[in-house]
Amino acid sequence: METWILLFGAGIALGCVSGHLYTAPDSCEGRCGEPFSEEDECHCHPECERHHNCCEDYERHCGPDGFSSSRDSITDQELRELSEQLYGVDHNKARPSDIALNPQHRAGPDETGDKQDRSPQPLYKYVNEELFSKPTYASFIKLLDNYQRATGREEEVTAEELREQDRFLEEVMKTELMRKLFLFLQGKNRYSSEQEFVQDLKEMWFGLYSREDGERDSSGFEHVFSGEVKKGKVSGFHNWIRFYLLEKQGVVNYFSHNFNGPWDTYPDVLGLQFSWDGFYKEVGSAFIGCSPEFEFGLYSLCFLARPGRACHLSLGGHGLSVQTYPWTKSTYGSGRRFIATAYVMSP
């Protein structure tokens, strides 16, 4: 099988963490003892005082009397170990025989932006659609037609659509993968109960905010998994199931892929160029063949542990990174941030 890869909150001592789930890039909340990274705009490791590059609230959170426990910070090593565990318990992923890809043309750096279709055949030669009858897949697919893709047009959420959101969350939380993720976050004092975790997942992923013209026109789930069109270009759209279903309908046209990688089984990762009803995506990325809960869980982990920064993971012994960004123009709850985007990138 050919495979392809795209190169491209914190716990507090008081226990209850509502309103303190997300780490701001310029804060030490939940980051005490975190390893040094050049990507950080300020630092919270023990040596930062000597180097005069601590965040302004370092002493308040990480000093002797600080209320942000360093033991509740999530280290890079823990992220690598947990991501390998999640990779290992993705029981609903595709088997190698379930998907046949036809990647065709590999685009060079000077070709990704020219909107030329260099692959006459579809990307997917075959997908075993029996996968889609699994409960997490079926409940995920029901969500995909709930959105208007154009930004600037307010989303109208029906009672049925709210039930579909709840059903999806209910199904993914039945999986070993999401239970393992919850227990890890609970152990880091991010959540006191599964109910709190599920409610926050619903808000961060499905809560509406405005990307354009002040309308409540977007959500993290819509952007990442269903895809949007903004200013004449495809925005988001990082899900393999969505791509396959729309390609099958003839409304997505695969142009080329631009990177390959080390995986010889699923989940795999693909970097690609395509058009969606004539709107172009110059460089996209998606996990291929993973279950919905794997992608949903991995992105949620990275958003909670490294919002706005690269989240370095390991899958099957191979490193890769996920980038997430919080939506900064509006909040929910006690100042918590919605997900603006999440996508897999190069290691």
Query: Catalytic amino acids?
Result: 223, 238, 281
Nearest to 311 by CA among 319, 323, 299, 326: 323
Tell whether the model's pLDDT for residue 216 goes beyond 80. Answer: yes
Tell me the domain boundaries of the chain. 21-63, 76-345
Tens-place pLDDT, residues 122-158: 999 999 999 999 999 999 999 999 998 988 888 889 9
What is the spatial distance between Cα 302 and Cα 292, in angstroms, rounded to a whole number?
16
Phi, psi of 127 (to 5 degrees): -135, 130
What is the spatial distance between Cα 8 and Cα 269, in angstroms, rounded to a whole number?
11
What is the spatial distance between Cα 207 and Cα 111, in angstroms, rounded to a whole number?
37
- Look over the chain and give the mean of its residue pLDDT values, rounded to a whole number: 88
Domain 21-63 listed as CATH 3.40.630.10:
no
Calculate mean pLDDT across residues 168-181: 98
pLDDT at 244: 98
pLDDT at 7: 38
